[in-house]
């Protein structure tokens, strides 16, 4: 008598689905969405400050004036007016580009998927920061690539570590295809790649024949208002640049873009058409009208002020409520603080205690594919109000205290998690898996 596995396709699934399983840790994020819980886990932008009434009026006009175009199929590359506006946005970070080199995508997440699809075969290596964006790691995993993490410090990726990683892969006979980096206000580490290192890393990758995949969703959200010159600005031939409206306007519209050298752009358009036919025309036109009609730069300035206040609230609360031995990064923009718990604590194992105490974070192992990050966590300050952030950090401090007490009980018998080094990490000066909420949403 054969039993029932409840899945008739068990033998039919592709190997890339091996890691697609239920997870007790991920399930805890269902609780994080409740208002009783202070969620420092999700990376949701604070949209309440958008001019919603004016946007609604624009949407109405879009339907009445251009509905037959907005609701129709469109170009696989995206509508030209928006691509022109995207070039103007990228110019703020020193990029000179033509609209023809831009491909609009369903969020920059789709751009990540398309770039990986056209560049990587199973077994190829992608170099990524340690830690790296969980959504990118999911894409890389889906294409069966191997991620080699490269150390960072307060100034971002360490060039010598990039060289070492490339040499190590060569010695093992591995083919490195891409270096994936988030140079500005990194997710999750919160740090920014220095100008000197940008040039150096671009040079290293160019020499090694490795394309740089520059992911820049937070670049305009520097708290001092300054922008950093993009890596792509000085290397048009070897950098593929990803941009997004999710953090500067509205993530629900799912509109991002990829800027790539001409030949790669051709393939990206074909891949985009194969995946989605075209990015949503309505959403593109809506964003185009928003950019043309509103003072969007002032809106971004308002966002910067909002997030700066929240960053300050979080840093102040961390100073007040975290026990000795806890370290964290100090972001100058973006959404995230990367925190290292006192030695020996395992932030994945501690998460149920935190949820019981009604505070949530993302355990550090989510941002690695090799088991690092066990004593670390990502804290988001973008969505909760400052007073909620303070309350959440207070609860987190109590949780860490309680967990430390349990660890003290079991003392040297505890092996401890595999800590990453680095900023706020085990090894001063160097930041050294995937169990996370759906990227940015919990």
Partner 1 sequence: MTTQHIMVLAGGLSHEREVSLRSGSRLAQALRATGFDVTVRDADSQLLDWVAAHRPDAAVIALHGGRGENGSVQAVLEMTGVPFVGTESRQCRLAWDKPTAKVLLRRASHLTPDWVTLSHNAFRDFGAAGLISALGSRFAFPLVVKPYQGGSALGTVIVHEAGEMPGALVGSLAYGDVLLVERYVAGTEVAVSVIESDDGPIALPPVEIVPSGEFFDYEARYTAGMTTYHTPARLEPELMRAAADLALAAHSELGLRDVSRTDMIVTPSGEVHFLEVNVSPGLTETSMLPMSVTAADRTLGEIYDGLIGRAIGRGR
Catalog residues that contact partner 1 under the rule CB under 8 A.
1, 3-7, 9-10, 21-24, 27-28, 30-31, 34, 36-37, 346, 349-353, 355-356, 358, 403, 405-411, 413-415
Provide, rounded to whole angstroms, the least separation between the CB of residue 412 and partner 1: 9
| CB nearer partner 1, residue 83 or residue 407 | 407
| CB nearer partner 1, residue 12 or residue 226 | 12
| CB nearer partner 1, residue 29 or residue 307 | 29
| CB nearer partner 1, residue 275 or residue 402 | 402
CA–CA distance, 132 with 134 (Å, rounded to integer): 6
Output b/e per residue, 68-83; b: 16+ Cβ within 10 A. eebeeebbbbbbebbb
Provide, rounded to whole angstroms, the least separation between the CB of residue 28 and partner 1: 6
Which position has the token pair 């609360």?
317
Provide, rounded to whole angstroms, the least separation between the CB of residue 395 and partner 1: 14
Provide, rounded to whole angstroms, the least separation between the CB of residue 20 and partner 1: 8
| CB nearer partner 1, residue 378 or residue 404 | 404
CA–CA distance, 441 with 118 (Å, rounded to integer): 27
Nearest to 361 by CA among 373, 374, 375, 378: 378
| CB nearer partner 1, residue 24 or residue 92 | 24
Cβ neighbourhood burial of 194 (10 Å; 0-12, 13-18, 19+)? middle
Residue 146, C-beta contacts closer than 8 angstroms, at least 6 positions apart: 123, 124, 125, 126, 174, 369
- DSSP class per residue in 222-279: BTTS--PPPGGGG-TTTEEEEEESTTTT-GGG-EEEEE--HHHHHHHHHHHHHHHSS-
| CB nearer partner 1, residue 298 or residue 412 | 412
Provide, rounded to whole angstroms, the least separation between the CB of residue 21 and partner 1: 4
Output b/e per residue, 196-214; b: 16+ Cβ within 10 A. ebbebbbebbeebebbbbb
| CB nearer partner 1, residue 15 or residue 53 | 15
Provide, rounded to whole angstroms, the least separation between the CB of residue 34 and partner 1: 6
Provide, rounded to whole angstroms, the least separation between the CB of residue 358 and partner 1: 7
| CB nearer partner 1, residue 194 or residue 398 | 398
Provide, rounded to whole angstroms, the least separation between the CB of residue 48 and partner 1: 22
Neighbours of 279 (CB within 10 A): 27
| CB nearer partner 1, residue 128 or residue 396 | 396
**Residue 17 DSSP code:** G
Provide, rounded to whole angstroms, the least separation between the CB of residue 352 and partner 1: 4
Record the tokens describing residue 425, joined without a space: 């990490």
Provide, rounded to whole angstroms, the least separation between the CB of residue 38 and partner 1: 13
Nearest to 248 by CA among 164, 190, 177, 306: 306
Terminal Cα-to-Cα distance of the chain (whole angstroms): 43
Rounded to 5°, the CA angle 28-113-48 comes to 55
């Amino acid at each position: 008598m054969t039993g029932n596995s409840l899945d008739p396709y068990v033998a039919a699934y592709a190997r890339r689905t091996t890691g697609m399983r239920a997870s007790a840790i991920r399930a805890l994020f269902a609780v994080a969405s409740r208002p009783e819980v202070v969620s420092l886990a999700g990376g949701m932008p604070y949209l309440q400050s958008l001019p919603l009434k004016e946007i609604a009026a624009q949407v109405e006009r879009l339907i009445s004036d251009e509905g037959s175009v907005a609701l129709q199929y469109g170009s696989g590359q995206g509508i030209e007016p928006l691509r022109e506006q995207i070039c103007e946005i990228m110019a703020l970070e020193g990029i000179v580009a033509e609209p023809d080199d831009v491909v609009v995508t369903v969020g920059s997440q789709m751009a990540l998927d398309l770039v990986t699809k056209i560049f990587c075969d199973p077994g190829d290596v992608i170099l990524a920061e340690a830690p790296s964006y969980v959504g990118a790691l999911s894409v890389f995993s889906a294409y069966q690539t191997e991620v080699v993490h490269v150390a960072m410090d307060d100034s971002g990726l360490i060039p010598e570590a990039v060289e070492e990683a490339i040499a190590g892969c060569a010695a093992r006979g591995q083919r490195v295809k891409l270096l994936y980096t988030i140079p500005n206000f990194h997710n999750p580490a919160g740090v920014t790649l220095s100008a000197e290192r940008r040039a150096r890393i671009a040079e290293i990758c160019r020499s090694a024949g490795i394309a740089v995949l520059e992911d820049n969703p937070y670049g305009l959200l520097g708290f001092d208002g300054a922008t950093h010159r993009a890596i792509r600005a000085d290397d048009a031939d070897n950098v593929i640049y990803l941009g997004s409206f999710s953090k500067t306007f509205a993530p629900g519209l799912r509109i991002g873009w990829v800027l790539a050298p001409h030949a790669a752009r051709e393939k990206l358009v074909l891949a985009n058409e194969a995946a989605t036919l075209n990015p949503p025309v309505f959403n593109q036109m809506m964003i185009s009208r928003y950019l043309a009609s509103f003072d969007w730069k002032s809106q971004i300035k308002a966002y910067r002020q909002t997030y700066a206040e929240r960053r300050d609230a979080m840093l102040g609360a961390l100073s007040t409520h975290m026990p000795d031995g806890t370290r964290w990064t100090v972001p100058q923009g973006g959404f995230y603080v990367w925190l290292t718990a006192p030695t020996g604590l395992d932030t994945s194992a501690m998460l149920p205690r935190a949820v019981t105490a009604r505070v949530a974070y993302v355990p550090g192992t989510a941002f690695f594919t090799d088991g690092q990050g066990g004593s670390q966590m990502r804290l988001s300050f973008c969505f909760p109000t400052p007073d909620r952030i303070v309350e959440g950090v207070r609860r987190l401090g109590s949780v860490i205290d309680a967990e430390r007490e349990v660890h003290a009980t079991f003392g040297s018998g505890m092996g401890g998690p595999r800590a990453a080094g680095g900023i706020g990490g085990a090894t001063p000066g160097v930041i050294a898996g995937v169990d996370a909420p759906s990227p940015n949403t919990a």
